[in-house]
Amino acid sequence: MIIEMVIAGIAVIGLFAALGLVLVIMERRVAAWIQIRLGPNRVGPKGMLQSLADTVKLLVKEGMTPNGADKFLFNFAPFIAMMVAMLLMAPIAFAKDFQLWDMNIGVLYITAISSIMVISILMAGWASNNKYSLMGAMRSGAQIVSYELSAGLSILTIVVFTGSLNITDIITAQADGWWIFKGHIPVIISFVIFIIAVTAETNRAPFDLAEAESELTAGFHTEYSGMKFALFFLAEYINVFIVCAIGATLFLGGWMPFHIGHWEAFNQVMDYIPSSIWFFGKTFFLIFVIMWFRWTFPRLRIDQLLNLEWKYLLPISMFNLLLATAMAILGWHF
């Protein structure tokens, strides 16, 4: 039991390190191509080792703690961010029968744990004893608390259709077609709302008010440097991966291959592709979409941000949930 836990812990840390490196280089490459640039092209073949070099640089930098800061909270906040990211890894099904902890309330667990993230941001912002940090943290708090609602409601749509909070049940329910195809319009609407809400929850552009370079220098992590900064940076990318993995699991069938009705030959070819490739392919597709958002849309103002949530996303997702419930009760899906 203990050995299993140690192996799982090491695997998760290894996955974090690999994801950090891959996602940072992917983001820079996507950004460059969208902005008609080349992107990193000096370190290693085609610049692929750039993020490794950056990591080494961050490791050898001095980790400063400002004099006026609350030292304990200041140093503790990055670790909460990482802990939340690690806890969120537990119920995710990476491949067929490959899951750290298959609990019966997987979806509830994910929504509950992911809202702890805001505590680490508030803690970092408050402990820095810096106005920029505090304002960034407060904005982030308002933002995450608001967007949790519509993210939760759009997840509930799938829970209503499946009738289970268990991740494995949700995936097996999609064996004859992913929810985005089976669920008609309500699932498509809730998928769009989910993507918008998780982009806001992970504090990424166009909702990056918590960092807002042009107004708040770097928001809640203004005072952080070296490895503590790297932990926040890593936690942001891990969170992007996790929310995309959840989106892929709920709406795009997790590790389920893509099947079309009665095309037996086509379905068998699809089954031949390993389930882990299906899972990571879908997840990275969603990550790409979120990066695409970031490099296309301009940032919202704080009042526009709250308007979008309270006047548009929340009413639409509530109505949508009602529609989905009616459909599930009347059996109007495949």
Partner 1 sequence: MFIVKYIKEVLSAIRSLLVGMRRTGYYFTHHKEIITEQYPDNRNTLVMADRFKGEVVLTHDENNEHACTGCTACELACPNATIKIVTKFDITPEGKKKKAIDKFVYHLELCTMCNLCIVACPTDAIKMAQTFEHSVYDRSELTKILNKPDSKIRAGIE
Residues contributing to the site for partner 1 (CB under 8 A): 30, 33-38, 41, 192, 292-293, 295-297, 312, 316
Q: How far is the CB of 133 from partner 1 (least distance, A)?
A: 31
CB closer to partner 1, 131 vs 311: 311
Integer Cα distance of 153 and 198 in angstroms: 12
CB closer to partner 1, 17 vs 38: 38
What are the beta bridge partners of residue 93?
Answer: 99
CB closer to partner 1, 208 vs 223: 208
CB closer to partner 1, 38 vs 64: 38
Q: How far is the CB of 38 from partner 1 (least distance, A)?
A: 4
Q: How far is the CB of 92 from partner 1 (least distance, A)?
A: 27
Q: How far is CA 243 from the centre of its chain?
A: 3
CB closer to partner 1, 15 vs 34: 34
Integer Cα distance of 283 and 92 in angstroms: 12
CB closer to partner 1, 2 vs 36: 36
Residues 6+ apart with CB under 8 A from 217: 132
Cα radius of gyration (the chain): 20
Q: How far is the CB of 198 from partner 1 (least distance, A)?
A: 16
Q: How far is the CB of 34 from partner 1 (least distance, A)?
A: 5
Q: What is the number of residues in the chain?
A: 334
HSE-CB of 205 using CA atoms within 13 angstroms: 14
Q: How far is the CB of 200 from partner 1 (least distance, A)?
A: 14
Integer Cα distance of 18 and 147 in angstroms: 29
Residues 6+ apart with CB under 8 A from 132: 216, 217, 218, 219, 222
